[in-house]
Amino acid sequence: MGALRGMLGSKYRCIDAHLHVVDFLQDTKGLQHCLHYMDKGNISHASIFGLPVSKGWESWERHPPEYYLADDSKCYYYSAVDAFLAMELRFLDSSQQARFFPMIGGFNPCDKYAYKHIERIIRYFPGIWHGVGEILFRHDDLTNLTYGDPSRCNHPAMDSIFDLCTEYEFPICIHQNITSVGTKTYPKWLHEVEETFHQHPKVQFVWAHCGISRGVYTPLYYQIVKRILEHYGNVCVDLSWIVYDEFICPRGVLDEHWLELAEEYSERICIGTDVVNRFEYLPATIQKYDVFLDALSASAREHVAWKTAFRLYSPVRA
Amino acid sequence: MSCRICYEDDCVEIENADELFVALDLTPPEADGIILSQIGDKIFHLITSDSEFLLILQKAFGTRGESKQPYLRCFGNNLGRVVTTGKTLSKALALLAEEEDQAYFLNALGTEGLRRCITTVADIAEALEWLYGKEDELFIELIGWDFIMRFIHSMETLGMVLKHLEKSDEGAALEKIGWPRVLACIQTPADLAYAFSGLIEDNVHALIGQLDAKKLQQLIPVRQELTRISQRYLSKTNGHYLKERYDRLAEGGIS
Protein backbone atom coordinates (compact mmCIF):
# COMPACT_ATOMS: atom_id res chain seq x y z
CA MET A 1 0.00 0.00 0.00
CA GLY A 2 1.37 3.43 -0.93
CA ALA A 3 1.77 6.42 1.29
CA LEU A 4 -0.99 8.39 -0.41
CA ARG A 5 -3.60 5.71 0.25
CA GLY A 6 -4.50 7.40 3.51
CA MET A 7 -5.95 10.38 1.69
CA LEU A 8 -8.74 8.16 0.41
CA GLY A 9 -9.98 7.50 3.95
CA SER A 10 -10.81 4.40 5.94
CA LYS A 11 -12.42 1.33 4.43
CA TYR A 12 -14.46 1.05 7.62
CA ARG A 13 -17.23 3.40 8.66
CA CYS A 14 -15.84 5.11 11.74
CA ILE A 15 -16.68 7.60 14.43
CA ASP A 16 -13.97 10.09 15.22
CA ALA A 17 -14.11 10.10 19.01
CA HIS A 18 -11.61 12.90 19.42
CA LEU A 19 -11.75 15.91 17.11
CA HIS A 20 -10.95 19.54 17.91
CA VAL A 21 -12.83 21.94 15.69
CA VAL A 22 -10.78 24.96 16.70
CA ASP A 23 -7.03 25.38 16.88
CA PHE A 24 -4.90 26.94 19.60
CA LEU A 25 -5.66 30.40 18.23
CA GLN A 26 -9.38 29.54 18.58
CA ASP A 27 -9.81 29.73 14.81
CA THR A 28 -11.95 27.25 12.93
CA LYS A 29 -12.35 26.40 9.27
CA GLY A 30 -15.98 25.63 10.01
CA LEU A 31 -18.07 22.53 10.40
CA GLN A 32 -19.12 22.42 6.73
CA HIS A 33 -15.47 22.14 5.83
CA CYS A 34 -15.13 19.48 8.50
CA LEU A 35 -18.02 17.48 7.05
CA HIS A 36 -16.43 17.55 3.60
CA TYR A 37 -13.37 15.76 4.95
CA MET A 38 -15.37 13.49 7.25
CA ASP A 39 -17.11 12.23 4.12
CA LYS A 40 -13.80 11.72 2.38
CA GLY A 41 -12.51 9.82 5.40
CA ASN A 42 -15.60 7.61 5.84
CA ILE A 43 -16.27 9.21 9.23
CA SER A 44 -19.97 9.14 9.95
CA HIS A 45 -19.92 11.09 13.23
CA ALA A 46 -17.46 12.96 15.39
CA SER A 47 -17.22 13.92 19.04
CA ILE A 48 -16.15 17.51 18.79
CA PHE A 49 -14.25 19.60 21.28
CA GLY A 50 -13.06 23.14 21.29
CA LEU A 51 -9.82 23.82 23.09
CA PRO A 52 -9.98 25.30 26.59
CA VAL A 53 -6.90 27.46 26.11
CA SER A 54 -5.88 30.08 23.62
CA LYS A 55 -2.29 30.77 22.67
CA GLY A 56 -1.38 34.42 23.14
CA TRP A 57 1.01 36.48 21.07
CA GLU A 58 3.19 38.01 23.73
CA SER A 59 5.04 41.31 23.42
CA TRP A 60 8.41 39.58 23.40
CA GLU A 61 7.62 37.50 20.32
CA ARG A 62 8.20 39.21 16.99
CA HIS A 63 6.43 36.61 14.86
CA PRO A 64 2.91 35.35 15.59
CA PRO A 65 2.78 31.80 16.96
CA GLU A 66 0.52 29.32 15.21
CA TYR A 67 0.79 26.42 17.64
CA TYR A 68 1.18 26.20 21.39
CA LEU A 69 4.75 24.99 21.03
CA ALA A 70 5.70 27.62 18.46
CA ASP A 71 7.29 29.96 21.02
CA ASP A 72 7.30 31.02 24.68
CA SER A 73 3.98 32.91 24.58
CA LYS A 74 1.62 31.73 27.26
CA CYS A 75 -1.80 30.13 26.87
CA TYR A 76 -4.84 31.29 28.82
CA TYR A 77 -8.24 29.77 29.49
CA TYR A 78 -10.77 30.79 26.87
CA SER A 79 -14.36 30.06 27.80
CA ALA A 80 -15.92 31.66 24.74
CA VAL A 81 -14.95 28.56 22.78
CA ASP A 82 -18.06 26.66 23.88
CA ALA A 83 -20.36 29.46 22.76
CA PHE A 84 -18.56 29.64 19.43
CA LEU A 85 -18.91 25.90 19.01
CA ALA A 86 -22.64 26.20 19.62
CA MET A 87 -22.85 29.05 17.10
CA GLU A 88 -20.98 27.05 14.47
CA LEU A 89 -23.55 24.27 14.79
CA ARG A 90 -26.27 26.73 13.85
CA PHE A 91 -24.77 27.01 10.35
CA LEU A 92 -25.72 23.37 9.72
CA ASP A 93 -29.03 21.74 8.91
CA SER A 94 -30.41 19.19 11.36
CA SER A 95 -29.07 16.14 9.53
CA GLN A 96 -25.61 17.64 9.52
CA GLN A 97 -25.85 18.64 13.18
CA ALA A 98 -26.74 15.06 14.03
CA ARG A 99 -23.30 13.95 12.85
CA PHE A 100 -21.60 15.92 15.60
CA PHE A 101 -21.46 15.24 19.32
CA PRO A 102 -20.43 18.59 20.82
CA MET A 103 -18.73 18.71 24.21
CA ILE A 104 -18.30 21.49 26.78
CA GLY A 105 -14.73 22.24 27.79
CA GLY A 106 -13.93 25.95 27.99
CA PHE A 107 -13.09 26.32 31.67
CA ASN A 108 -10.15 26.48 34.01
CA PRO A 109 -10.08 23.10 35.79
CA CYS A 110 -8.27 24.63 38.76
CA ASP A 111 -11.09 27.07 39.48
CA LYS A 112 -13.63 25.86 42.04
CA TYR A 113 -16.21 28.01 40.24
CA ALA A 114 -15.61 26.21 36.94
CA TYR A 115 -18.84 24.24 37.26
CA LYS A 116 -20.73 27.53 36.86
CA HIS A 117 -19.41 27.80 33.33
CA ILE A 118 -20.97 24.47 32.42
CA GLU A 119 -24.27 25.52 33.98
CA ARG A 120 -24.25 28.80 32.03
CA ILE A 121 -23.39 27.14 28.74
CA ILE A 122 -26.26 24.69 29.19
CA ARG A 123 -28.62 27.55 30.10
CA TYR A 124 -27.76 29.71 27.08
CA PHE A 125 -27.27 26.92 24.55
CA PRO A 126 -29.59 24.13 25.68
CA GLY A 127 -30.26 20.82 24.02
CA ILE A 128 -27.04 20.31 22.12
CA TRP A 129 -24.45 18.98 24.56
CA HIS A 130 -23.28 15.40 24.65
CA GLY A 131 -20.57 15.54 27.29
CA VAL A 132 -17.61 17.38 28.76
CA GLY A 133 -14.10 17.51 27.35
CA GLU A 134 -11.39 17.39 26.35
CA ILE A 135 -10.22 18.67 29.71
CA LEU A 136 -6.50 19.31 29.68
CA PHE A 137 -4.77 18.23 32.87
CA ARG A 138 -1.15 17.09 32.93
CA HIS A 139 -0.12 17.86 29.36
CA ASP A 140 3.68 18.22 29.10
CA ASP A 141 4.71 21.61 27.68
CA LEU A 142 1.16 22.87 27.39
CA THR A 143 0.74 22.73 31.17
CA ASN A 144 3.92 24.70 31.61
CA LEU A 145 2.86 27.28 29.05
CA THR A 146 -0.57 27.89 30.58
CA TYR A 147 -1.14 30.66 33.11
CA GLY A 148 -2.13 29.50 36.57
CA ASP A 149 -1.62 26.38 38.64
CA PRO A 150 -0.69 23.15 36.86
CA SER A 151 -3.96 21.36 36.29
CA ARG A 152 -4.42 17.75 37.41
CA CYS A 153 -7.40 15.46 37.27
CA ASN A 154 -7.59 15.08 41.05
CA HIS A 155 -7.69 18.83 41.65
CA PRO A 156 -10.37 19.73 44.22
CA ALA A 157 -11.98 22.11 41.72
CA MET A 158 -12.90 19.13 39.59
CA ASP A 159 -15.12 17.54 42.24
CA SER A 160 -18.06 19.78 41.39
CA ILE A 161 -17.49 19.21 37.68
CA PHE A 162 -17.57 15.46 38.20
CA ASP A 163 -20.76 15.86 40.25
CA LEU A 164 -22.33 17.75 37.35
CA CYS A 165 -21.24 15.02 34.96
CA THR A 166 -22.99 12.47 37.16
CA GLU A 167 -26.11 14.61 37.30
CA TYR A 168 -26.33 15.05 33.52
CA GLU A 169 -24.82 11.63 32.73
CA PHE A 170 -22.16 13.43 30.74
CA PRO A 171 -19.16 11.36 29.67
CA ILE A 172 -16.03 13.37 30.36
CA CYS A 173 -12.95 13.11 28.19
CA ILE A 174 -9.79 13.89 30.13
CA HIS A 175 -6.22 14.37 29.05
CA GLN A 176 -3.93 13.42 31.91
CA ASN A 177 -0.44 12.24 31.14
CA ILE A 178 0.62 9.14 32.99
CA THR A 179 4.00 10.69 33.76
CA SER A 180 6.10 13.74 33.01
CA VAL A 181 8.31 14.11 29.96
CA GLY A 182 11.34 14.14 32.22
CA THR A 183 10.41 11.00 34.18
CA LYS A 184 10.46 7.93 32.02
CA THR A 185 11.37 5.38 34.66
CA TYR A 186 7.97 5.10 36.32
CA PRO A 187 4.43 6.56 35.87
CA LYS A 188 4.66 9.33 38.44
CA TRP A 189 1.14 10.72 37.85
CA LEU A 190 -0.69 7.41 37.59
CA HIS A 191 -1.84 7.78 41.20
CA GLU A 192 -3.70 10.99 40.28
CA VAL A 193 -5.57 9.19 37.54
CA GLU A 194 -6.45 6.23 39.72
CA GLU A 195 -7.54 8.44 42.60
CA THR A 196 -9.90 10.28 40.24
CA PHE A 197 -11.36 7.14 38.69
CA HIS A 198 -11.73 5.60 42.13
CA GLN A 199 -13.38 8.56 43.83
CA HIS A 200 -15.92 9.23 41.10
CA PRO A 201 -17.26 5.78 40.20
CA LYS A 202 -20.49 7.13 38.74
CA VAL A 203 -18.72 9.31 36.23
CA GLN A 204 -18.14 7.91 32.76
CA PHE A 205 -14.52 8.77 31.99
CA VAL A 206 -12.78 8.64 28.64
CA TRP A 207 -9.03 8.68 29.18
CA ALA A 208 -7.68 10.46 26.10
CA HIS A 209 -4.69 8.87 24.36
CA CYS A 210 -4.47 6.44 27.32
CA GLY A 211 -2.44 9.05 29.17
CA ILE A 212 0.30 9.52 26.60
CA SER A 213 1.44 12.65 24.83
CA ARG A 214 4.52 13.90 23.03
CA GLY A 215 7.71 12.70 24.70
CA VAL A 216 5.92 10.70 27.40
CA TYR A 217 7.08 7.17 28.08
CA THR A 218 6.65 4.71 30.90
CA PRO A 219 7.65 1.09 31.28
CA LEU A 220 4.90 -1.52 31.66
CA TYR A 221 2.57 0.80 29.84
CA TYR A 222 0.35 -1.81 28.23
CA GLN A 223 -0.07 -3.54 31.59
CA ILE A 224 -1.00 -0.26 33.25
CA VAL A 225 -3.75 0.49 30.72
CA LYS A 226 -5.01 -3.07 31.06
CA ARG A 227 -5.14 -2.75 34.82
CA ILE A 228 -7.04 0.53 34.59
CA LEU A 229 -9.64 -1.02 32.30
CA GLU A 230 -9.87 -4.08 34.54
CA HIS A 231 -10.25 -2.18 37.82
CA TYR A 232 -12.38 0.78 36.80
CA GLY A 233 -15.52 -0.13 34.94
CA ASN A 234 -16.35 3.56 34.55
CA VAL A 235 -13.34 4.18 32.30
CA CYS A 236 -13.06 4.01 28.53
CA VAL A 237 -10.03 5.01 26.50
CA ASP A 238 -9.56 6.65 23.15
CA LEU A 239 -6.68 5.52 20.99
CA SER A 240 -5.97 8.86 19.46
CA TRP A 241 -2.88 10.88 18.60
CA ILE A 242 0.54 9.43 19.22
CA VAL A 243 -0.40 6.51 21.46
CA TYR A 244 -1.24 4.70 18.24
CA ASP A 245 1.94 5.60 16.36
CA GLU A 246 4.31 5.04 19.24
CA PHE A 247 2.85 2.12 21.16
CA ILE A 248 0.09 0.32 19.31
CA CYS A 249 1.52 0.34 15.82
CA PRO A 250 5.09 1.65 15.97
CA ARG A 251 6.71 1.95 12.52
CA GLY A 252 3.67 0.27 11.03
CA VAL A 253 4.00 -2.95 13.04
CA LEU A 254 1.12 -3.87 15.31
CA ASP A 255 1.85 -4.72 18.94
CA GLU A 256 0.20 -8.03 19.81
CA HIS A 257 -0.45 -6.98 23.40
CA TRP A 258 -2.51 -4.03 22.30
CA LEU A 259 -4.44 -6.19 19.88
CA GLU A 260 -5.31 -8.56 22.70
CA LEU A 261 -6.30 -5.64 24.88
CA ALA A 262 -8.53 -4.20 22.15
CA GLU A 263 -10.12 -7.56 21.58
CA GLU A 264 -10.88 -7.99 25.29
CA TYR A 265 -12.04 -4.45 25.98
CA SER A 266 -13.37 -3.41 22.59
CA GLU A 267 -16.60 -2.12 24.13
CA ARG A 268 -14.55 0.42 26.08
CA ILE A 269 -12.14 1.48 23.39
CA CYS A 270 -12.69 3.99 20.64
CA ILE A 271 -10.50 5.69 18.04
CA GLY A 272 -10.04 9.34 17.25
CA THR A 273 -7.95 11.55 15.04
CA ASP A 274 -7.15 14.36 17.49
CA VAL A 275 -7.06 16.62 14.45
CA VAL A 276 -6.92 20.26 15.54
CA ASN A 277 -8.89 22.27 12.96
CA ARG A 278 -6.84 20.93 10.03
CA PHE A 279 -9.71 18.85 8.75
CA GLU A 280 -7.85 17.95 5.56
CA TYR A 281 -5.95 15.50 7.75
CA LEU A 282 -9.10 13.57 8.72
CA PRO A 283 -9.04 10.97 5.89
CA ALA A 284 -5.40 10.03 6.34
CA THR A 285 -5.51 10.12 10.13
CA ILE A 286 -8.55 7.88 10.46
CA GLN A 287 -7.25 5.58 7.73
CA LYS A 288 -4.10 4.77 9.67
CA TYR A 289 -6.25 2.67 12.03
CA ASP A 290 -7.26 0.33 9.19
CA VAL A 291 -4.33 -1.98 9.79
CA PHE A 292 -5.34 -2.23 13.45
CA LEU A 293 -9.01 -2.71 12.66
CA ASP A 294 -8.13 -5.32 10.03
CA ALA A 295 -6.45 -7.40 12.71
CA LEU A 296 -9.43 -7.39 15.09
CA SER A 297 -12.37 -9.76 15.02
CA ALA A 298 -15.42 -8.39 13.25
CA SER A 299 -17.19 -7.78 16.54
CA ALA A 300 -14.28 -6.02 18.23
CA ARG A 301 -13.67 -3.97 15.09
CA GLU A 302 -17.23 -2.75 15.04
CA HIS A 303 -16.99 -1.62 18.65
CA VAL A 304 -13.63 0.08 18.34
CA ALA A 305 -14.44 1.80 15.05
CA TRP A 306 -17.96 2.85 15.81
CA LYS A 307 -20.15 1.32 18.52
CA THR A 308 -18.17 2.33 21.62
CA ALA A 309 -18.03 5.97 20.58
CA PHE A 310 -21.67 5.94 19.55
CA ARG A 311 -22.75 4.52 22.89
CA LEU A 312 -20.59 6.98 24.82
CA TYR A 313 -21.19 10.16 22.95
CA SER A 314 -24.30 10.04 20.76
CA PRO A 315 -27.05 10.89 23.30
CA VAL A 316 -27.83 14.57 23.80
CA ARG A 317 -27.74 15.05 27.55
CA ALA A 318 -28.33 18.74 28.12
CA MET B 1 -9.94 22.31 -10.41
CA SER B 2 -8.08 19.36 -8.93
CA CYS B 3 -4.70 17.86 -9.81
CA ARG B 4 -4.05 14.15 -9.96
CA ILE B 5 -0.88 12.95 -8.31
CA CYS B 6 0.50 9.45 -8.11
CA TYR B 7 3.18 7.96 -5.91
CA GLU B 8 4.10 4.30 -5.69
CA ASP B 9 0.83 2.36 -5.86
CA ASP B 10 -1.65 5.18 -5.29
CA CYS B 11 -3.15 8.09 -7.13
CA VAL B 12 -5.22 10.83 -5.52
CA GLU B 13 -6.90 14.03 -6.58
CA ILE B 14 -5.57 17.12 -4.82
CA GLU B 15 -7.99 20.03 -4.58
CA ASN B 16 -6.10 22.70 -2.68
CA ALA B 17 -2.93 23.69 -0.87
CA ASP B 18 -3.99 22.02 2.37
CA GLU B 19 -4.36 18.69 0.61
CA LEU B 20 -1.03 19.13 -1.14
CA PHE B 21 0.49 19.69 2.29
CA VAL B 22 -1.03 16.43 3.53
CA ALA B 23 0.29 14.59 0.49
CA LEU B 24 3.79 15.94 1.08
CA ASP B 25 3.49 15.03 4.75
CA LEU B 26 2.44 11.44 4.09
CA THR B 27 5.19 10.78 1.59
CA PRO B 28 8.94 10.93 2.27
CA PRO B 29 10.80 14.14 1.35
CA GLU B 30 12.41 12.39 -1.60
CA ALA B 31 8.93 12.01 -3.12
CA ASP B 32 8.29 15.76 -3.08
CA GLY B 33 10.02 16.33 -6.40
CA ILE B 34 8.03 13.52 -8.02
CA ILE B 35 4.76 14.95 -6.74
CA LEU B 36 5.53 18.55 -7.68
CA SER B 37 6.70 17.55 -11.15
CA GLN B 38 3.26 16.04 -11.76
CA ILE B 39 1.63 19.30 -10.75
CA GLY B 40 3.91 21.60 -12.73
CA ASP B 41 2.29 24.83 -13.80
CA LYS B 42 -1.08 23.64 -12.51
CA ILE B 43 0.32 24.79 -9.20
CA PHE B 44 -1.74 27.96 -9.56
CA HIS B 45 -4.90 25.88 -9.25
CA LEU B 46 -3.72 24.79 -5.81
CA ILE B 47 -1.70 27.73 -4.55
CA THR B 48 -3.72 30.89 -4.81
CA SER B 49 -2.41 33.14 -2.06
CA ASP B 50 0.69 34.19 -0.17
CA SER B 51 -0.21 32.10 2.87
CA GLU B 52 -0.71 28.98 0.74
CA PHE B 53 2.61 29.60 -0.99
CA LEU B 54 4.35 29.77 2.38
CA LEU B 55 2.52 26.73 3.73
CA ILE B 56 4.00 24.53 1.03
CA LEU B 57 7.35 26.28 1.00
CA GLN B 58 7.79 25.29 4.65
CA LYS B 59 6.95 21.70 3.97
CA ALA B 60 8.41 20.81 0.58
CA PHE B 61 11.68 18.84 0.55
CA GLY B 62 12.10 18.94 4.33
CA THR B 63 12.28 21.41 7.17
CA ARG B 64 16.00 21.57 7.88
CA GLY B 65 17.37 23.86 5.25
CA GLU B 66 17.08 21.62 2.21
CA SER B 67 16.92 23.20 -1.26
CA LYS B 68 13.39 24.10 -2.29
CA GLN B 69 14.17 25.29 -5.78
CA PRO B 70 12.03 22.69 -7.60
CA TYR B 71 8.99 24.08 -5.78
CA LEU B 72 9.89 27.65 -6.74
CA ARG B 73 10.39 26.60 -10.34
CA CYS B 74 6.78 25.43 -10.58
CA PHE B 75 5.77 29.09 -10.53
CA GLY B 76 8.05 30.09 -13.41
CA ASN B 77 7.97 33.84 -13.95
CA ASN B 78 4.71 34.23 -12.09
CA LEU B 79 6.06 33.95 -8.57
CA GLY B 80 4.84 37.51 -8.02
CA ARG B 81 1.26 36.22 -8.01
CA VAL B 82 1.81 34.51 -4.66
CA VAL B 83 4.53 36.71 -3.18
CA THR B 84 2.81 40.03 -2.80
CA THR B 85 3.75 41.46 0.59
CA GLY B 86 6.82 42.31 2.58
CA LYS B 87 5.87 39.73 5.19
CA THR B 88 5.73 37.00 2.57
CA LEU B 89 9.02 38.14 1.10
CA SER B 90 10.87 37.99 4.40
CA LYS B 91 9.26 34.74 5.53
CA ALA B 92 10.11 33.10 2.21
CA LEU B 93 13.71 34.26 2.43
CA ALA B 94 13.89 32.97 5.99
CA LEU B 95 12.74 29.56 4.79
CA LEU B 96 15.15 29.45 1.86
CA ALA B 97 18.41 28.40 3.46
CA GLU B 98 20.33 27.72 0.26
CA GLU B 99 22.02 30.75 -1.30
CA GLU B 100 21.21 29.47 -4.78
CA ASP B 101 17.55 29.22 -3.86
CA GLN B 102 17.57 32.77 -2.56
CA ALA B 103 19.22 34.00 -5.75
CA TYR B 104 16.70 32.13 -7.88
CA PHE B 105 13.82 33.47 -5.81
CA LEU B 106 15.01 37.09 -6.01
CA ASN B 107 15.69 36.91 -9.74
CA ALA B 108 12.33 35.25 -10.39
CA LEU B 109 10.54 38.08 -8.64
CA GLY B 110 12.77 40.67 -10.31
CA THR B 111 12.80 44.39 -9.70
CA GLU B 112 9.09 44.82 -10.31
CA GLY B 113 7.99 41.90 -8.15
CA LEU B 114 10.25 42.84 -5.28
CA ARG B 115 9.32 46.50 -5.32
CA ARG B 116 5.64 45.59 -5.29
CA CYS B 117 6.16 43.75 -1.99
CA ILE B 118 7.88 46.65 -0.30
CA THR B 119 5.86 49.36 1.39
CA THR B 120 8.02 50.25 4.40
CA VAL B 121 11.67 50.32 5.37
CA ALA B 122 10.88 47.40 7.69
CA ASP B 123 10.03 45.31 4.63
CA ILE B 124 13.51 46.01 3.25
CA ALA B 125 15.25 45.39 6.56
CA GLU B 126 13.36 42.17 7.24
CA ALA B 127 14.24 40.84 3.79
CA LEU B 128 17.90 41.74 4.22
CA GLU B 129 17.91 40.04 7.61
CA TRP B 130 17.80 36.64 5.92
CA LEU B 131 20.27 37.40 3.15
CA TYR B 132 24.02 37.15 3.34
CA GLY B 133 26.90 38.37 1.18
CA LYS B 134 26.19 38.13 -2.51
CA GLU B 135 22.44 37.85 -2.00
CA ASP B 136 22.43 41.12 -0.05
CA GLU B 137 24.04 42.75 -3.05
CA LEU B 138 21.65 41.08 -5.47
CA PHE B 139 18.60 42.20 -3.51
CA ILE B 140 19.82 45.79 -3.34
CA GLU B 141 20.87 45.79 -6.96
CA LEU B 142 17.41 44.58 -7.97
CA ILE B 143 15.43 47.11 -5.97
CA GLY B 144 18.02 49.91 -6.28
CA TRP B 145 19.30 52.45 -3.76
CA ASP B 146 17.11 55.18 -5.24
CA PHE B 147 14.06 53.07 -4.41
CA ILE B 148 15.38 52.25 -0.93
CA MET B 149 16.07 55.91 -0.16
CA ARG B 150 12.40 56.73 -0.71
CA PHE B 151 11.75 55.04 2.64
CA ILE B 152 14.68 56.51 4.53
CA HIS B 153 14.34 59.80 6.35
CA SER B 154 16.47 59.33 9.44
CA MET B 155 19.59 57.58 10.59
CA GLU B 156 17.41 55.07 12.42
CA THR B 157 15.76 53.98 9.18
CA LEU B 158 19.05 54.03 7.26
CA GLY B 159 20.60 52.00 10.06
CA MET B 160 17.84 49.40 9.76
CA VAL B 161 19.06 48.71 6.23
CA LEU B 162 22.82 49.08 6.75
CA LYS B 163 23.02 46.82 9.77
CA HIS B 164 22.12 43.78 7.68
CA LEU B 165 24.87 44.35 5.10
CA GLU B 166 28.27 42.75 5.34
CA LYS B 167 30.50 45.22 7.17
CA SER B 168 32.89 45.23 4.23
CA ASP B 169 30.07 46.42 1.98
CA GLU B 170 29.00 49.29 4.20
CA GLY B 171 31.47 51.82 2.81
CA ALA B 172 30.49 51.08 -0.76
CA ALA B 173 26.83 51.42 0.19
CA LEU B 174 27.45 54.84 1.75
CA GLU B 175 29.28 55.93 -1.39
CA LYS B 176 26.40 54.82 -3.56
CA ILE B 177 23.87 56.61 -1.37
CA GLY B 178 26.13 59.68 -1.35
CA TRP B 179 27.23 61.67 1.69
CA PRO B 180 24.74 64.51 1.10
CA ARG B 181 21.85 62.05 1.44
CA VAL B 182 23.46 60.37 4.44
CA LEU B 183 23.93 63.73 6.13
CA ALA B 184 20.33 64.61 5.36
CA CYS B 185 19.33 61.60 7.48
CA ILE B 186 21.24 62.98 10.46
CA GLN B 187 19.04 65.72 11.83
CA THR B 188 19.02 65.09 15.58
CA PRO B 189 21.45 63.99 18.32
CA ALA B 190 19.63 60.65 18.27
CA ASP B 191 20.41 60.27 14.56
CA LEU B 192 24.05 61.00 15.27
CA ALA B 193 24.07 58.40 18.02
CA TYR B 194 22.58 55.81 15.63
CA ALA B 195 25.29 56.63 13.08
CA PHE B 196 28.15 56.45 15.57
CA SER B 197 26.94 53.24 17.16
CA GLY B 198 25.95 51.48 13.95
CA LEU B 199 28.66 52.26 11.37
CA ILE B 200 32.04 50.59 11.31
CA GLU B 201 34.98 52.64 12.56
CA ASP B 202 36.32 53.70 9.15
CA ASN B 203 32.92 54.93 8.10
CA VAL B 204 32.40 56.80 11.37
CA HIS B 205 35.74 58.47 10.68
CA ALA B 206 34.59 59.39 7.18
CA LEU B 207 31.30 60.69 8.58
CA ILE B 208 33.05 62.92 11.13
CA GLY B 209 35.02 64.35 8.24
CA GLN B 210 31.76 65.27 6.52
CA LEU B 211 30.32 67.18 9.49
CA ASP B 212 30.71 70.92 9.00
CA ALA B 213 30.46 73.57 11.67
CA LYS B 214 26.77 74.11 11.18
CA LYS B 215 25.95 70.41 11.38
CA LEU B 216 28.14 69.91 14.43
CA GLN B 217 26.45 72.78 16.23
CA GLN B 218 23.04 71.37 15.31
CA LEU B 219 23.91 67.91 16.61
CA ILE B 220 26.20 68.75 19.53
CA PRO B 221 25.02 72.13 20.71
CA VAL B 222 27.27 72.26 23.78
CA ARG B 223 30.83 71.10 24.19
CA GLN B 224 30.09 69.09 27.34
CA GLU B 225 28.22 66.61 25.19
CA LEU B 226 31.39 65.75 23.29
CA THR B 227 32.85 63.74 26.15
CA ARG B 228 29.69 61.74 26.73
CA ILE B 229 29.25 60.96 23.03
CA SER B 230 32.87 59.97 22.63
CA GLN B 231 32.85 57.73 25.67
CA ARG B 232 29.64 55.99 24.75
CA TYR B 233 29.92 55.55 21.00
CA LEU B 234 33.39 56.21 19.63
CA SER B 235 36.77 54.53 19.56
CA LYS B 236 39.66 56.47 21.04
CA THR B 237 40.86 57.48 17.59
CA ASN B 238 37.48 58.66 16.40
CA GLY B 239 36.86 60.37 19.75
CA HIS B 240 40.04 62.38 19.33
CA TYR B 241 39.17 63.14 15.72
CA LEU B 242 35.71 64.40 16.63
CA LYS B 243 37.10 66.54 19.46
CA GLU B 244 39.86 67.93 17.27
CA ARG B 245 37.42 68.72 14.46
CA TYR B 246 34.91 70.23 16.86
CA ASP B 247 37.53 72.45 18.42
CA ARG B 248 38.93 73.50 15.06
CA LEU B 249 35.53 74.30 13.64
CA ALA B 250 34.57 75.94 16.91
CA GLU B 251 37.01 78.66 16.15
CA GLY B 252 34.87 79.32 13.13
CA GLY B 253 31.62 79.54 15.02
CA ILE B 254 30.90 76.92 17.71
CA SER B 255 31.06 78.36 21.18
Give the model confidence (pLDDT) of B179-189 as tens digits.
999 999 999 99
Contact by Cβ (8 Å): B128, B136? yes
Of A5, A8, A280, the CB nearest to B18: A280
Residue type, A307: K
Q: Is the pLDDT of residue A121 over 60?
A: yes
The DSSP 8-state label assigned to residue A146 in this structure reads: B
Q: How far apart are CA A254 and CA A250, in angstroms?
A: 7
Residue to mutate among B7, B18, B93, B95, with most A CBs inside 10 A, is B18
Phi and psi, residue B182, nearest 5°? -65, -45
- Model confidence at B40, pLDDT cuts 50, 70, 90, reads confident
Among A272, A206, A203, CA closest to A241 = A272
Q: How far apart are CA A292 and CA B21, in angstroms?
A: 25
Residue type, B156: E
- What letters, b where the CB count within 10 A reaches 16 and e where it falls short, cover A206-219? bbbbbbbbeebebe
Residues of B with Cβ-Cβ distance to A278 under 8 angstroms? 18
Q: What is the pLDDT of residue B250?
A: 67
Q: Does the CB of A27 have a partner CB in chain B at under 8 Å? A: no
* Chain A residue at shortest CA distance from B23: A4
Q: How far apart are CA A192 and CA A158, in angstroms?
A: 12
Q: How far apart are CA B92 and CA B139, in angstroms?
A: 14
Give the model confidence (pLDDT) of B97-106 as tens digits.
999 999 999 9
Q: How far apart are CA A47 and CA A309, in angstroms?
A: 8
Cβ–Cβ gap A4/B21 under 8 Å = no
Of A3, A7, A281, the CB nearest to B8: A3
Q: Compute the count of residue pairs across chains A and B with CB atoms less than 8 Å apart.
A: 42
Question: What is the ipTM for the molecules in this complex?
Answer: 0.91
Q: Does the CB of A11 have a partner CB in chain B at under 8 Å? A: no
Give the model confidence (pLDDT) of A254-277 as tens digits.
999 999 999 999 999 999 999 999
Q: Is the pLDDT of residue A316 over 70?
A: yes
**Run of H or E residues at A55:** strand A53-55
Among B26, B78, B69, B85, CA closest to B47 = B78
Give the model confidence (pLDDT) of A33-89 as tens digits.
999 999 999 999 999 999 999 999 999 998 899 999 999 999 999 999 999 999 999
Q: What is the pLDDT of residue B223?
A: 86
Helix axes B201-210, B236-250, angle to 10 degrees: 0
Rg (CA), chain B: 24
Q: Does the CB of B192 have a partner CB in chain A at under 8 Å? A: no
Q: Does the CB of A3 have a partner CB in chain B at under 8 Å? A: yes
Find the mean pLDDT for residues A205-212: 97
Give the model confidence (pLDDT) of B74-123 as tens digits.
999 899 999 999 999 999 999 999 999 999 999 999 999 999 999 999 99
Q: Could you write out the DSSP letters of every residue in B45-110?
A: HH--SHHHHHHHHHHTT-SSS---HHHHHTTGGGGGGT--SHHHHHHHHHH--SHHHHHHHHHHHH
Among A137, A193, A126, A200, CA closest to A167 = A200
The DSSP 8-state label assigned to residue A244 in this structure reads: I
Q: How far apart are CA A119 and CA A107, in angstroms?
A: 11
Q: Does the CB of A253 have a partner CB in chain B at under 8 Å? A: no
Q: What is the pLDDT of residue B249?
A: 84
Bridge partners (DSSP) listed for residue B160? none
As a whole number of angstroms, the longest Cα–Cα distance in chain A is: 55
Residues of B with Cβ-Cβ distance to A281 under 8 angstroms? 22
Instruction: State the distance between the two ends of chain B, measured CA to CA, in whole angstroms.
Output: 76
Cβ–Cβ gap B8/A2 under 8 Å = yes
Q: How far apart are CA B139 and CA B188, in angstroms?
A: 30
Phi and psi, residue B186, nearest 5°? -100, 90
Q: Does the CB of B38 have a partner CB in chain A at under 8 Å? A: no
Residues of B with Cβ-Cβ distance to A5 under 8 angstroms? 9-10
Q: How far apart are CA A244 and CA A253, in angstroms?
A: 11
Q: Does the CB of B94 have a partner CB in chain A at under 8 Å? A: no
3-state secondary structure of A48: strand
Q: Is the pLDDT of residue B254 over 60?
A: no
Q: Does the CB of B2 have a partner CB in chain A at under 8 Å? A: no
